[in-house]
Structures are given as C-alpha cells and as structure tokens.
Structure 1
Amino acid sequence: MKHLTYHLKYVMFFVVMVIIFSTLGLVLVPRADNIHLNNETKETEKRIEMIRLSAVGDSLTEGIGDTTKSGGYLPLLQKDLSDMYPVDVFQIENFGKSGDRSDQILKRLKKNEEMQQSVQQANAILLTVGGNDLLQAIQPKIFSKMTTKRLESEKETYYGRLEKLYAELRTLNPDAPIYQLGIYNPFYLNFSDITELQEIVDFWNKSSQNFVNEQENAYFVPINDDIYQGIPEIEKSDDKKEALKSSDSSSLNDLISSEDTFHPNNLGYQIIANAFELKMSATKNKWLK
C-alpha cells in the first residue's frame, strides 16, 4: 500500500510538471502565425530613402489663396504622406503658375529644364489643369447660353491639348503615375440659382475623367463634391456656425478664399491634399517603391 501511494505521488508529480512545461511552451514559444506577423511588421518598417513628387499645373498647384504662402495643398500633402509611410524624405517640387491653360503648361514644360528634370526623376506626377481651359471656353458666352454643341467643340479642343501634355509627360517619364485633379465650382453658393454653371463644371469634370481613364497609369482625383458646397453643416463646430450666422456673407463658401472668392483658402487646400492622399494611398504600389 505504501508503494502504491508512493507511485501515485510520483505519477501526480510527473503530470503536474508536464502541464507546467506545456503551459510555458505555449507562452514562450511563438506560434507560427505570430512569427509570420512579426516578419511582416519588420517588412513594413523597411524605410525608403526618398520619394520624389513633381507638381505641375495652374494656380491650384502654385497655391493661390493660401494665406501662409507656402504652396497650397503641397506641403499639407507632404506632411500627410510623411506621417503615413516609412519614407525618410518626401521631396515635392512645385511648378504651378496661375492662369495657365493646358497648352501653356505644355509650353513651360518644353522650355524649362528644371521642370523637365523634376518630371523625369519623379515617383509620381501631380497635375492640376483644366480650369483655365474651361474659363477660356465660356468667357465669350458669359452673357449668353452655352450650347451643347459649343461645349462639345471646346471639349475636343481641350482633349487635343491634354493629349499633347500627357505625351510630353510620358516622353520624360514613362513609368510614374499621373494624378490629375478635377475642377470645382467656386460660385455655387453665391449663384445657386444659376444651375447651368454647375452643369458645365460637371460636364468638364466627366470629360476630364474619361480622358484620364483612357491613359496608362493615370488617375483622376475628383474634388468638386468636396468643395462646391463648403463645409457640410453637420461637420461645423458651434463656433463656426455662430460666425457664419453673424456674417453678412453667410452664403459664401467657407472653403474658398474671401480675397478673390475663387481659389481655395487654407482649409480648402487641406481638402485637396486629402483627395490626393486618398487616391495615392489606393494606388501606392505604383509609386511607393
């Protein structure tokens, strides 16, 4: 009986030790999927030395309306991307010029060697174009109805200019993705009863998007819906609402510069930076390498 008790104690001791070591094994030895996750984390932590972005375009690239005079949406986009991705330096070069149409941007591109070199070295090309082309198209008809036939004709002229601009960009850099920003209606809240203007802007944006969709490795960045009605009421703080109520210009777009009521203000440029960031993040495999 004593021997049986002794053996039972020995067996119980052995079972307890097995349980203890098994438990320690589960704790101390990582599971295979944990090892895989750790390796993935290390992969994502590998840093890229530099990403170059070449910004080409009109006043929206130049940053007109930005009270900080620091370049509109570009420094905001640079900060957003730097916070999101393991890149030591996001280098953005600004070649925006207020008032330029697509043909004038092309003319600068062909003459400016610094601009050419920037495009050649770019991991991605940011393009703002089309607004001044549309202004040129509608100004002669500003006091008369813009016919569909006339608008279609102006669209074809614009397409021809864009084709030449894209061809030059692709000659300089066949591989970098091109992100083209749409246009917005800055007068919607001021003249909301003039529905024709918004219809023209929508038509121009749709035409631009169709063109971009036909290009290789090019992406259209829509912006009108984010800007033309200002900040949605639900997103405004109480202070902002009170300020708007007490203003004589409560109907004005609070994303548009009060100086010219045409270009984005600082917050408007943040909206543009957000739009570029969303599209670039969705296609990061095209430039983040």
Structure 2
Amino acid sequence: MMKNSLRTLAGFLLAILLIFAALWVIFPKAQDRFGAVKKTSASKTLIYTALGDSLTEGVGDATGQGGFVPLFAKNIENGTNDSVVSQNFGKAGDTSTQIYNRMLKQEKIQAGLKKADIITITVGGNDVLKVIRDNVTKLSTMREKDFVKPEAAYQKRVKKLLDTIRKDNPKAQIYVLGIYNPFYINFPDLTVMQNVIDDWNQATKEVIAKENKVYFVPINDLLYKGTGTTQAVEADSSSSSVENNLLYTGDHFHPNNTGYQIMANAAYASYEKVNK
C-alpha cells in the first residue's frame, strides 16, 4: 500500500512538472516590466542652437554664461529625461539684416542650425532702435506712423531668415522671442514707444503664424514693468527716480539674471506646451 501511495505521488509530481514544461514552451517569457519602462523613457540628446542679438549673447548676465540660453536648456533637462547640448550664436547690436548676413557667412552657424532639434531666435529690438537712430534729428516729433514702413520691411527679413533656416532644417522647433520696452518705468507716458513695441511683436507673430513648427514667445508683459509689489526699485534713496528691477543696472536696458530666468521660463512654457 505504501508503494502504491509513493507511485501515485510520484506520478502526480511528474504530471505537474510536465504541465509546467508545456506551459513554458507554449507561452513566451514575460518581459521585464522595469526594463520596458526604462527603454520607453530613455533620455535622448537634443541639439539646441541659439541665434540672435544681445539677448541671445546674454549681455547683462552677471555669470557671463549666456543669459537665457543655458537656463532654457537646463529647464528642458529638468522637465524631461533628455540632455541638451547648446550652441550660442548671439551677437550684441545685430539687427535682423546683420543676423541673416552673419548666418550666411559663418559655416559654424549654418552647421549648428542644420543639426539643431531646437532653435531660439531673438531679433527685432535693434531694428526698432535703428529706426530711432535714423530719425534722431526729429525724435521729438516721431509718431507711430514713422515705424510702419520699417516694420513691413522687418517682416520680410524675418520671413527670409526663417525660410533660409528651413531649407537645411525642416524639422527643428523654432522659438522666436518677442521684444520688450526697457524705457517704460522711466517714461510711462511715452505711449508711442509701447505701441511700437506691441506693433512690432504683432508683426513678428503674423510672420510666424504662417510657418510650420515656429512659435512666438512673448516677453514684453513679463519684463517691461519689473516685478514685485512695487514693480520697480528706487535707483537712489536720495532721489525719486526708479528703475526696472528686471534689468541690468549697468545699462538699464538688457535683462539681469532674474530677467533672463523669466525669459527662459517663458521659452520653456512654450516648449512644454508644444511637446506635451
């Protein structure tokens, strides 16, 4: 009887082993769930090329690292699993014409734009200043209409700039940052300047609206009044003058470190919306 019981138990165990063996062959081994997640969320390296004027170069950045450019790259890295390799081709004082010509002449810029996954452009501020400089003898009588023709010509130059970039790189996401009014705090009644800035930004938006994968990043409303409860700080305790606390104290024109961080955050908000 004991032998029969042992034979029955052995037969039962053998049957169990055969069943498991059959199931092992029929059904493939399950994939490692953690390994699968790791593959789908694996980081990639993004190439970021920044082109433009002094805002791209980073004039006013106390760290000397390039203004909003490295901050925007860091925002992308912090908000995603991706790493960012950036190149900065900003040059202070450049108008849209000078940016375009520099791009055509410098192979390094062309190569950077061609390989880029992300491109930012700061343009327009020096074009507005050029109109003012060209009319320096009649500054006191300048009106908004004096900027209409230069604005139309500017729109054509921006389109030409974007079209040229697109010839070699049809896939990159391009973010064009707007311009801002650095004079508002000291001259709030100079409404002509604020209107010109608004019109100039609108002109840029109209060009961009017709382009593929090109996005406008407004920054005027974020910078022109400063920040905080008073929106400005007194320049001198012995005077009533004030200064924009988001601008570099060396020239009261370019952003300071806080101003550049705000620009970077605005660019990243646009990037995040596009890539969500």
* Contact 1:119-1:173 at 8 Å conserved across structures: yes
Supply the distance in 2 between the matched residues of 1:92 and 1:247 (Cα, whole angstroms). Answer: 44
Partner of 1:57: 52
Task: Give deviations 1:151-193, integer Å, cap 9, x for gaps.
Answer: 2211111012112211111112111111000000001001112
Supply the distance in 1 between the matched residues of 2:39 and 2:216 (Cα, whole angstroms). Answer: 28
Task: Give deviations 1:241-286, integer Å, cap 9, x for gaps.
Answer: 7x8794747620000011011000010000100110000000126x
Partner of 1:150: 146
Q: 1:244 to 1:231 in 2, by over 3 A?
A: farther
* Contact 1:101-1:131 at 8 Å conserved across structures: yes
* Contact 2:55-2:90 at 8 Å conserved across structures: yes
1:191 corresponds to 2:191: no
Supply the distance in 2 between the matched residues of 1:112 and 1:276 (Cα, whole angstroms). Answer: 26
Query: Which consecutive segments of 4 or more residues in structure 1 shift more than 6 A?
Result: none
Percentage of pairs with the same residue: 40
1:119 corresponds to 2:113: yes
TM-score by length of 1: 0.77
Task: Give deviations 1:26-58, integer Å, cap 9, x for gaps.
Answer: xxxxxxxxxxxx89x937961223011110000
Partner of 2:242: 251
Supply the distance in 2 between the matched residues of 1:232 and 1:279 (Cα, whole angstroms). Answer: 23
* Contact 1:45-1:86 at 8 Å conserved across structures: no
Which of 58, 64, 67 is the matching residue for 2:62? 67
Supply the distance in 1 between the matched residues of 2:241 and 2:85 (Cα, whole angstroms). Answer: 39
Q: Give structure 2 stretches of 5+ with no counterpart.
A: 1-32
Partner of 1:21: none
* Contact 1:54-1:94 at 8 Å conserved across structures: yes
Supply the distance in 2 between the matched residues of 1:198 and 1:125 (Cα, whole angstroms). Answer: 27
Count of residue pairs the alignment pairs up? 241
Partner of 1:170: 166
Matched residue type, 1:96: G
Supply the distance in 2 between the matched residues of 1:76 and 1:201 (Cα, whole angstroms). Answer: 25
> C-alpha displacement at 1:140, in angstroms?
2.9
Supply the distance in 2 between the matched residues of 1:60 and 1:71 (Cα, whole angstroms). Answer: 9
Which of 241, 248, 252 is the matching residue for 1:261? 252
1:81 corresponds to 2:81: no
* Contact 2:217-2:266 at 8 Å conserved across structures: yes
Partner of 2:205: 209
Q: 1:249 to 1:183 in 2, by over 3 A?
A: farther
Partner of 1:95: 89
